[in-house]
Amino acid sequence: MKKNKILLTILSITMFFTSLTLVACGGNNEGNPYQDFQNSLTTYLADATLFKDGTTAIGSIETNFYFNNFNYKNSEGKIEGDKNYLVLNAYGMNYIQDYSAYLENLEGNYNYSNLQNSLNKLNESFEKIKIESKNIYNADTNANIDIYNGFYANYLDEAKNFINAVYDTAINISNFLIEDVNVLEGFGTDKQTIEQTQFCLDTQVLYVFDDIRKLLLESGEGKQFIGENLYDGAVANLSYFANISTKNVNLLTAEMADELLEKAELLEGERVYLNKALESFSLYEYVEVYESSIESYQKDESNAFAYYTELQKYYSDSNNFLYQYQNFLSLNIYE
């Protein structure tokens, strides 16, 4: 009898905690961050110093999120800063703006915690870059180069962090829409829609931009290494993908949609090994510390050559995967 009581108590406690866990892990439609996204975007755009007023084109990408005062000084005056930051930020913010709108009126129980967390971090980063943006805005244009560029260095750091947070948020949105909301259901069949095609392509370009962001802003620490093969290859690919991303998309045949998905899956598979290489290879150190000598790098990191080769295959070799992929998209998918 005593034993039964103990067993029953244990069972009850277990069931209680299980149900608590289920409730915690389960979704509920409360906390849909749609309005939070709208508020954040409105706040970002309202900041007079951070983003230029209205729509600005950077290459073929038009955006409301063009970094203002993104320049530094040299003896000739103010020079526009690294365009890669501008392009990466523009595309990522555009994606957030377009696809956070899908959250409006979403029916069903969803777990929004990842979305909310990434948006919170994005907002935190925004607050920091806002300060640095104001600092550089306020910096006297007649101030000597060192003072001006001192402010610019801080601004660039926060811009890098902001862009990293942008991509974290954008990718969380894409994962949420694909895995939780299942927006691509029916894609690859006769029931597929042009909106699905657009979403699929925009998301593929987002992931590619994220791959390039990882190389330029993380592995390369946001520095420009013009003339460095790996850097130049990644930047060239950024330009190719930026260019095709603004083209019109036709409704695809089911077979072409299948082929698109197959290529996307291969890129996703390759990304696993790309990330392994990116984790262990620093483009910044390769150039600055080892003076672009892979043999020197190899003395400190015995697998440097293997990592470097993988990165070249992905970003910069003559048959690099990104170039082949954008060529496939350009010839078969976009108008």
Amino acid residing at 242: A
- Which residues have a Cβ under 8 Å from the Cβ of 308 and sit 6 or more positions away? 230, 277, 281, 286, 294, 297
List, in sequence order, every residue forming a beta bridge with 58; answer none if it has no partner: 61
User: Which CB sits closer to other proteins, 152 or 286?
Assistant: 286
| DSSP code of residue 66 | P
User: Which CB sits closer to other proteins, 293 or 303?
Assistant: 303
Minimum distance from residue 182 beta carbon to other proteins (Å): 22
Cα angle vertex 305, ends 300, 307, to 5°?
A: 100
Minimum distance from residue 328 beta carbon to other proteins (Å): 6
Structure-block tokens of residue 61: 């990408």
Minimum distance from residue 265 beta carbon to other proteins (Å): 6
CA distances from 17 to 8, 14, 60, 279, 289 (A): 14, 5, 54, 38, 54
C-alpha to C-alpha distance for 269 and 275, rounded to whole angstroms: 10
User: Which CB sits closer to other proteins, 218 or 317?
Assistant: 317
Minimum distance from residue 201 beta carbon to other proteins (Å): 17
User: Which CB sits closer to other proteins, 26 or 269?
Assistant: 269
Q: Per residue in 322-335, is it b (16+ CB within 10 Å) or e — as a string? A: bbebbeebeeebbe
215: nearest Cα among 142, 274, 132: 274
Minimum distance from residue 321 beta carbon to other proteins (Å): 5
User: Which CB sits closer to other proteins, 21 or 324?
Assistant: 324
270: nearest Cα among 320, 202, 198, 201: 320
List, in sequence order, every residue forming a beta bridge with 67; answer none if it has no partner: 51
User: Which CB sits closer to other proteins, 152 or 307?
Assistant: 307
C-alpha to C-alpha distance for 75 and 65, rounded to whole angstroms: 29
In this structure, the number of other CB atoms found within 10 A of the CB of residue 210 comes to 20
Minimum distance from residue 197 beta carbon to other proteins (Å): 20
User: Which CB sits closer to other proteins, 211 or 310?
Assistant: 310
User: Which CB sits closer to other proteins, 297 or 325?
Assistant: 325
Asked if 68 and 133 touch (Cβ cutoff 8 Å), the reply is yes
Minimum distance from residue 266 beta carbon to other proteins (Å): 6
Amino acid residing at 223: K
Asked if 330 and 244 touch (Cβ cutoff 8 Å), the reply is yes
Minimum distance from residue 225 beta carbon to other proteins (Å): 22
* Residue numbers at the binding site for other proteins (CB under 8 A): 263, 265-270, 272-273, 276-277, 302-303, 305-307, 309-310, 313, 317, 319, 321, 324-325, 327-328
Q: Where are the alpha helices (DSSP H) in 100-144?
A: 113-138
Minimum distance from residue 174 beta carbon to other proteins (Å): 19
